[in-house]
A = this chain, B = another copy of it.
Amino acid sequence: MRRLFIVPILTALAVGGWPQDGRASHPRLLLTAGDVANITATMHESPGFMRSLARTRTRVDRYFASDPDVPAPMDAGGGYSHEQHKRNGIAIREAGIVYQLTGDRRYAGHARSLLLAYAELYPGLGEHPMKKEQAPGRLFWQSLNESVWLVNAIQGYDAIVGTLSDNEKSAIEEGLLRPMADFLSVESPQTFDRIHNHGTWAAAAVGMTGYTLDDSAYVEMALYGLNGDGKAGFIRQIDLLLSPDGYYAEGPYYQRYALMPLVVFARSIHNNDPERKIFEYRGGLLLKAIYACIELSYGGLFFPINDAVRGKGLDTVELRHGVAIAYAMTGDPKLLSVARMQKSFVLTSDGFKAAMAADHGKAEPYEHRSMLLRDGPSGEQGGLAILRNGAGPGHQALVFKATAQGMGHGHFDKLHWIFYDNGNEIVADYGAARFLNIERKNGGRYLPENESWAKQTVAHNTLVVDGESHFGARLAVGERFHPDVLYFGSDKGVHVAAASMDGAYEDVSFSRTLVLADGVLADGLVVVDVLDVTGSGARQYDLPVHFKGQVIATTPPLRAKTEELLPLGSANGYQHLWLRAETEVAADALFSMTWLAENRFYTYSIQVEEPLQVLFAELGANDPQINLRREQAVILRMRSTGDSTFVSTLEVHGEYDAAEESTIGSEGSITAIEHFSGGDGALVKIANRRSGERYLALSNQSGHDLEHAITIAGREFEWSGFYGLFDRNGPIRK
């Protein structure tokens, strides 16, 4: 069972191919022997693929110009030994693939020498000296990196195994591959059987090792968990980690990361066990997850919700694999324009297909659209609504986060929203407090401020009650509750999503409707935000708006602190905010704030029935290591004795052109926002300096056929379904 049978057809190696004769042939993971024959015969017809191969070959040549160091494990993330082992793992894979695609045995030799060095090193390793709370590895401070390493190395081994002597094979398999696969599986049950991206990486590493070594025990464990009952393992992970819409519970940043083991292992399963029809599983869910990843982005960068390192996007290696596989499976020409944006192609059969098609001009534009991605294994744990006006580079996108908690990387930010315009994040999410792989910033790991700031509710654009975070910032509590999506609709320039949340606070529930409308509720583009809070007794409601840009003016003006800054609070994230300025707004009066971001103006306006305190805050207090970025927020604070409604708008307007020295439309046009409830719904009246009054009626009932009415000041507003739109004359066509 532990012996691998290899057919030594070395004569085929000169052209880098292997005869395609079933399980005995190599390679067999992302690239099969048949693929190699096909690619090498026709790859000169794809300049894009040839460029990617040439770049990889040059990189491998440089890397092996001298013998790569295989250091004793010592450093945490970002440190020398950590980065060197990561590089070595990738080099093993790349050298193997270049060997297959060029037939040049020197590359097989490069991979072999590294694998033999690791086979020498690995058996003597204990737990990594820099282990922390995470499950420790041996080569790396956390076992996750070890899984990633093996996913790379096994592909390299698979590519060169035919060039190895029996002694070499035995040394590498017994000294490195099996001990590592065993370490990641039977010796690490808490990770391996976990429904989590760490578990997915471990399953992929062990399962791909199983296919390569022809060891079906590894494959079975990887698919169905350590004891084979299917309560853990890859199939269960697909069941539980992805929603029916392909949304991954932890959010886009980890969706990308989890995508890699999902798709590369799935591709390996498809190549070795096609009868499992893994890409058809759960209605083609893995392909939906790849598409969802693409949709979870703006300007090529992922929405930075939950723990997310900013700057990650569609050009990552995970998406290069994902998009190539999705194209190979679907032939969807829109995916080719994403592939072209990625600039290079993965050196697999799928990458080759995508490159060839892109080079033959088959790409069609990828147009984002408004959509709801339901969350939870059965799609009933809330969802992420993406409202988009337009689809081009500067389009507006509003992301409404009504998802479940998302495990340990989830933030306490129920019914939070972010907004993009003109290529920029305008209403922002901080993302994670982390400098990935930068050794001197806490070893590249999450910073303490990730817990004390980034995860806290006040770091987001949603309701904070009595200065405390949702669920008291307790993960176990957060995982017991989730929002409910009340409505999602997108039609002719009007995009609407609504959700409700119970359980974030004792005795306080809230629901929120966000509308993105172009030229309907105001002259230009406007976001309308209706946040209904149901509570009892005297409570403090804070609504933060984290915005990017330079404040131009507010009405009423802010009183700035000029001589001293003090923290806004002492806990739950407030301790990190300096109170920079403040003002008060009378009941039923409008507060508005205009800011400039790049060359466009934004005006946020709010009007409520209670007096408002406006707090303008800057991030950076209680930050001894200067770990936090300098960001800013305005916080609208209301003292309520029960139910209250925050109704606010965000206008996009004007243009500031420094080159032409011209400024137009630098002031917002909304002059009043009134909110009425009664009958079977609520009505928001938006008074506009230029285009007069507009009305948004909300029923909070989504049935399209239900009729609603509300009478305000003698005028009756009648509509059917969730919402209605009116101007001074009557209903506006939806």
- A: residues with CB less than 8 A from B are 78, 83, 86-87, 309-313, 315-317, 435-441, 444, 550-553, 558-560, 562-567, 578, 580-581, 594, 596, 616, 618, 620-626, 629-630, 632, 656, 658-664, 666-667
Contact = CB atoms under 8 A, between A and B. Distances in A.
Given A618-B620, A623-B560, A626-B551, A439 B78 contact: no
The prevalent SS among residues of A at the interface is: loop
Given A565-B564, A566-B564, A313 B662 contact: no
B440 A623 contact: no
Contacts of A565: 564-565, 578, 621
A301 to B, nearest CB: 9
Ranked nearest first, the 6 interchain pairs of A and B with the lowest CB-CB distance are A311-B658, A437-B663, A565-B565, A440-B553, A562-B622, A560-B624
A27 B564 CA distance: 62
B317 A660 contact: yes
B312 A659 contact: yes
Contacts of A563: 566-567, 621-622
- Most chain B CB within a 10 A radius of its CB, from A83, A552, A661, A662: A661
- Most chain B CB within a 10 A radius of its CB, from A551, A567, A624: A624
B659 A437 contact: no
Nearest to A595: B626
Contacts of A310: 658
A27 B654 CA distance: 36
A437 B662 CA distance: 7
Contacts of A622: 562-563
A625 B658 contact: no
Contacts of A560: 623-626
A658 B78 CA distance: 12
A436 B567 CA distance: 33
A392 B473 CA distance: 49
A135 B289 CA distance: 65
A105 B334 CA distance: 48
A436 B655 CA distance: 12
Given A312-B659, A439-B663, A559-B624, 5 more contacts: A312-B658, A440-B553, A440-B594, A563-B621, A630-B630
B311 A440 contact: no
Contact of A620 (B312, B580, B594): B580
Contact of A444 (B435, B567, B663, B667): B663
B626 A581 contact: yes
Contacts of A562: 621-624
A101 B567 CA distance: 64
A311 B313 CA distance: 27
Contact of A439 (B311, B662, B666): B666
